[in-house]
Amino acid sequence: MDNILLGGLNQGMLWGIMAIGVYITFRLLDFADLTCEGSFALGGAVAATLIQNSGWHGISACFIALLAGAGAGLVTALLHTKLKIAPILSGIITLTALYSVTLITMEGKAAIGLLNVPVFYSVFGSMMSKYSILIMGLICTFAVIAACYWFFGTEIGSAIRATGANEKMCRAQGINTDNTKIIGLVLSNALIALSGALVAQEQGTASWTTGQGAIVAGLAAVILGEVLIPSNSNFAITLFGVVIGSIIYRIIYALVYYVGLPTEYIKLSTAVLVVIALCLPMIKSKSLAFAKMTDKYLIKKYPKYAEYAKKRDDKKEAKKQAEKEKLLAEIKSLTGQLSTCTDEKTVRKQHAKLVRAKEKYVEKYGSKELDEAEEKNEAISVAAIGGEDK
């Protein structure tokens, strides 16, 4: 059992990098990208071919695999942005082409073994162990999350997030949404291919079919992470939640094998697991509705509980109001800065921050609330107009 948990933890972290890539397209960019399965297999194939046939070390092979995945994402992005092909069809076209590209990369072989070669995890010694995989997996996961946290806090990263939230508003603010989509898809598939390279080296083999079901595993990890982590959490915490969701998924997947389920039922059990993961948000909402109904009943039935409930609700309302005022003050500050700013680069950066702040306000309190707040506070409206003119 300990080996199963350790193996699930190792695999979960490595696949978690892939889940972060899926999160970038499906959640941040709001782009239904099906290139995932192809770029995952391509990453493993590129790394395995370079290590086994060309004598490359696993670390440098991972870097080339990352570039290969970025190229796959670029193709999907260009099909969508330049040829105006629908997002799903763009991904399917690239995915179909990547099956051939992966086989060509592997020189027509169905699989490439990685035995007695210097893989990524052998930096701690000549032999790879589960603990070296754990250590390197932790390092890679933290590095990817730190890099994503930094990048999506920059001007370009903020523009990508704003594009996924409201593409029309971004265009009105002067953001080139085609470029943000291209960058987002390139980054996403680069991470997915990196994950494929790491998983191939962990398993000791790369196959052109490795990526089958990757999109399902990625979505399941994202959903599980969103259930575990509150929606208003810090971005870095959200990414950690996605990785935790991947770890949970892989541990459950390993337990299915542990109980001795026949091979023909593995895919069926995986599908059931994904359905359960997708239903968790609905279950959570139903549970909250039931809790509210129970709370109302207890308030009517027991006076002392009603007093406790009133104090609790007052605290929640005060906290909500404080958060609302803080966010409104941030919008006011940003629009004020835009009215006095003359540097073009700074203006674009402030605009991206303003769009994100307004989107956050609308998401929490509604567009009507924002309109009323702008009407009451002339400073916001005047500053916003001045910023747009610049």
* Rama region for 84: left / alpha / beta (φ>0; ψ in -120 to 50; rest): left
Phi then psi for residue 207, to 5 deg, are -130, 150
- Domain spans, the chain: 2-260, 303-389
| CATH code that applies to domain 2-260 | 1.10.3470
CA-CA distance, 53 to 310, in Å (whole number)? 70
Provide the 10 A C-beta neighbour count for residue 27.
16
pLDDT of residue 75: 97
pLDDT of residue 381: 47
Mapping DSSP onto H, E and C, the string for the chain reads CHHHHHHHHHHHHHHHHHHHHHHHHHHHCCCCCCCHHHHHHHHHHHHHHHHHHHCCCHHHHHHHHHHHHHHHHHHHHHHHHCCCCCHHHHHHHHHHHHHHHHHHHCCCCCEEECCCCCCHHHHHCCCCCHHHHHHHHHHHHHHHHHHHHHHCCCHHHHHHHHHHHCHHHHHHCCCCHHHHHHHHHHHHHHHHHHHHHHHHHHHCEEECCCCCCHHHHHHHHHHHHHHHCCCCCCHHHHHHHHHHHHHHHHHHHHHHHHCCCCHHHHHHHHHHHHHHHHHHHHHHHHHHHHHHHHHHHHHHHCHHHHHHHHHHHHHHHHHHHHHHHHHHHHHHHHHHHHHHCCCHHHHHHHHHHHHHHHHHHHHHHCHHHHHHHHHHCHHHHHHHHHHHHC
pLDDT of residue 229: 82
pLDDT of residue 384: 45
- pTM equals 0.77
pLDDT of residue 115: 77
Whether the Cβ atoms of residue 251 and residue 8 lie closer than 8 Å to each other: yes
Which stretches of the chain drop beneath a pLDDT of 70? 1-2, 123-130, 231-232, 372-390
pLDDT (tens digit per residue) in 135-150: 888 999 999 999 999 9
